[in-house]
């Protein structure tokens, strides 16, 4: 598989999966799976398909950190986020011990505000959810997300 | 007497003043509490409205995005249908060509079949007569020792052999025709 350079970073990424909504890369040195959104929104069915495919890649490449780059997104979808937090994150933590999640948000106040509201609602609805024990951090750049 | 009365008056005035102060203090704290409660209520309302407004704006974006996605899918579907239509046309043309090809091949096969029948007929009948004559003449040579007869029989044998050769040449010609058609 071909090595790809992203944003002039000194990391070698390998492209595993590509749709009109996302590209999924792996970076073996830091054991990172990078889910990079390339569209302004992702319908929930596609969203689930992409993350289920990511699970397969995490399993086969033995990765332990998820970087979710949402900088291209402008549409936030609450049900997708709910599934991603309560089901997908719990599944990969339980089955593959992936507890590190790094996210990069777009520079869009409405989007950031929507994430905050949804997260608050989620915390209230699922007080004992597994995702609360995970290491989830928001980063400013791809480099920062991979390094930290 | 006057002094005593003025003291009582002063005391009464002080009590009245203190009562007034306490009353106004209690009134003030009560009002302040109510204002704070109102403030919180207003802040909560503002937060709720902001949240609803944010969610509504995002919902609008989502609706627009779905509409755009549907439009883009429709566009892709139209393009795919066009492609399918083109492929269908090519397939139709190919089918027509194929029909023609099958007809040509069938005609060729019919021709070949008739040649093969002709060849079979030559094998069965035309080669049989001169060959039978050759065999008969060989028997005559075996049983008759006369040299005059032998010469006559030999001539007949040569003639029959030539006839057989000519028949076999015809058969070979038919076979070569069938072979050349097969190569086409």
* SS3 at position A104: strand
pLDDT of residue B120: 82
Distance, CA of B60 to chain centre: 36
Q: Could you please report the per-residue DSSP string of A41-72?
A: ---HHHHHHHHHHHHHHHHHHT--EEEEE-TT
A107 vs A31, A72, A118, A140, B138, CA distance in Å? 27, 9, 17, 9, 112
Contacts of B66 in chain A (CB under 8 A): 43
The whole-angstrom separation of Cα A103 and Cα A85 is: 13
* pLDDT tens track for A98-136: 999 999 999 999 999 999 999 999 999 999 899 999 999
Q: How far is A120 from chain B (nearest CA, A)?
A: 11
* pLDDT tens track for B62-80: 999 889 888 888 998 999 9
Nearest by CB to B51, from A40, A110, A117: name it: A117
Quick one: pLDDT band at residue B183, thresholds 50, 70, 90?
low
Quick one: pLDDT band at residue A144, thresholds 50, 70, 90?
very high
Contacts of A80 in chain B (CB under 8 A): none
Q: How far is A38 from chain B (nearest CA, A)?
A: 14
Helix (H) or strand (E) holding A114: helix A109-125
Domain boundaries, chain B: 1-92, 93-183
pLDDT of residue B102: 92
Quick one: pLDDT band at residue B83, thresholds 50, 70, 90?
very high
Residue percentage of chain A with pLDDT more than 70: 99
pLDDT of residue A3: 77
* Prediction ipTM score: 0.79
pTM: 0.63
Please say if the pLDDT value at position B2 is more than 70.
no
Do A117 and B55 lie within an 8 Å CB cutoff? yes
pLDDT of residue B1: 58
pLDDT of residue B182: 64
Please say if the pLDDT value at position A55 is more than 80.
yes
Nearest by CB to A117, from B54, B66, B69: name it: B54
Do residues A93 and A60 make contact, with C-beta atoms less than 8 angstroms apart? no
Please say if the pLDDT value at position B161 is more than 90.
no
Please say if the pLDDT value at position A70 is more than 70.
yes
Nearest by CB to A113, from B54, B65, B66: name it: B54
Do residues A42 and A50 make contact, with C-beta atoms less than 8 angstroms apart? yes
Tell me what the mean pLDDT of segment A2-30 comes to.
89
Do A110 and B54 lie within an 8 Å CB cutoff? yes
B59 vs A74, A110, B80, CA distance in Å? 11, 11, 31
The whole-angstrom separation of Cα A95 and Cα A59 is: 9
**Residue from B52, B61, B67 to probe the interface with A (highest A Cβ count within 10 Å):** B61
Quick one: pLDDT band at residue B160, thresholds 50, 70, 90?
confident
Tell the burial category of B131 from Cβ atoms under 10 Å away from its Cβ (0-12, 13-18, 19+).
middle
Domains, chain A, ranges and CATH?
3-147 (3.30.750.24)
Nearest by CB to A75, from B54, B55, B62: name it: B62
Closest CA to A70 of A29, A23, A117: A23
pLDDT of residue B129: 82
Do A117 and B65 lie within an 8 Å CB cutoff? no
* pLDDT tens track for B97-148: 999 999 999 998 898 888 888 878 877 777 888 888 888 888 887 787 677 7
Query: What six digits make up the tokens of A63?
Result: 């990765």
Contacts of A113 in chain B (CB under 8 A): 54
Please say if the pLDDT value at position B151 is more than 70.
yes
Cβ contacts below 8 Å, chain A against chain B, sum to 29
Distance, CA of A13 to chain centre: 16
Interface of A with B (CB under 8 A): 40-41, 43, 74-77, 110-111, 113-114, 117
Contacts of B69 in chain A (CB under 8 A): 41, 43
pLDDT of residue B152: 82
């Amino acid at each position: 598989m071909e090595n790809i350079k992203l944003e002039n970073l000194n990391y070698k990424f390998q492209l595993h999966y590509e749709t009109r909504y996302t590209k999924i890369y792996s970076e073996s040195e830091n054991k990172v799976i990078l889910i990079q959104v390339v569209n302004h929104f992702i319908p929930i069915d596609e969203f689930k398909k992409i993350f289920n495919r990511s699970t397969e890649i995490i399993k086969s490449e033995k990765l332990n950190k998820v970087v979710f780059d949402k900088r291209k997104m402008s549409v936030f979808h609450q049900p997708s986020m709910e599934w991603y937090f309560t089901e997908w994150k719990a599944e990969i933590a339980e089955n593959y011990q992936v507890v590190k999640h790094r996210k990069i948000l777009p520079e869009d106040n409405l989007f950031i505000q929507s994430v905050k509201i949804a997260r608050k609602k989620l915390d209230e609805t699922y007080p004992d959810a597994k995702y609360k024990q995970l290491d989830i951090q928001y980063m400013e750049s791809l480099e920062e997300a991979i390094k930290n | 007497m006057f002094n005593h009365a003025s003291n009582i008056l002063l005391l009464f005035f002080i009590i009245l003043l203190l009562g007034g102060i306490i009353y106004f203090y209690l009134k003030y704290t009560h009002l302040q509490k109510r204002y704070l409660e109102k403030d919180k209520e207003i802040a909560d309302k503002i937060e709720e409205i902001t949240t609803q407004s944010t969610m509504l704006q995002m919902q609008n974006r989502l609706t627009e995005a779905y509409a755009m996605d549907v439009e883009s899918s429709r566009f892709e579907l139209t393009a795919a249908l066009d492609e399918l239509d083109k492929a269908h046309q090519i397939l139709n043309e190919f089918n027509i060509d194929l029909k023609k090809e099958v007809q040509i091949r069938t005609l060729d096969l019919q021709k070949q079949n008739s040649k093969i029948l002709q060849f079979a007929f030559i094998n069965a009948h035309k080669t049989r007569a001169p060959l039978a004559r050759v065999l008969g003449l060989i028997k005559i040579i075996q049983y008759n020792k006369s040299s005059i007869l032998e010469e006559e029989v030999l001539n007949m044998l040569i003639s029959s052999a030539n006839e057989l050769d000519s028949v076999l040449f015809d058969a070979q010609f038919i076979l070569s025709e069938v072979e050349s058609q097969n190569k086409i």
